[in-house]
Amino acid sequence: MDTVAASMRDALRRLAKAVVVITCRYDGKRYAMAATAVSELSLDPPSMLVCVNRHASLFQALASGSDFAINILHSSHAAISAACGGKLKGEERFEVGNWTAGPDGLPFLSDAQASFICINARQIDHGTHAIFIGDVREVRAEGVVDPLIYVDGRYCSAT
């Protein structure tokens, strides 16, 4: 890794971000991936973006046009983040947490801080990743605001 990339990785440890799990359904299978590279994009139209590494299992499903959900984790959801961050693989990731499915089978976390149900609208490729833009078709928000936060290689809470 060149020095700028290594310095960037180290500096990003100082950027606290809410942890989310991106989910989708493709070819009869459910996919889930923990992420922090997620952001709101626009309110007109309501849209979000997610950044996904080309080597992630979720990548091909999104690149094929699958709609997706962005689930903001609660501070009590560290085990879900770990499961979807690589501790578990494939369908096993859905054994941790209260997962449900919408009418189209798209999985989302029923007790997430918030879930954004998105129509996969556009893909922008750049380097090792792609940005997927989703037009938000539904929003679910639950409970007191207390997201799971990731900073400096560890989880914490805002409260």
- pLDDT, tens only, 19-33: 999 999 999 999 999
The whole-model pTM stands at: 0.94
CATH value at residue 149: 2.30.110.10
Can you give the pLDDT at residue 1? 60
**How many domains would you assign to the chain?**
1
- Written as one letter, the residue type at 12 is L
Query: What domain range is 146 assigned to?
Result: 3-157
pLDDT in tens, 33-68: 999 999 999 999 999 999 999 999 999 999 999 999
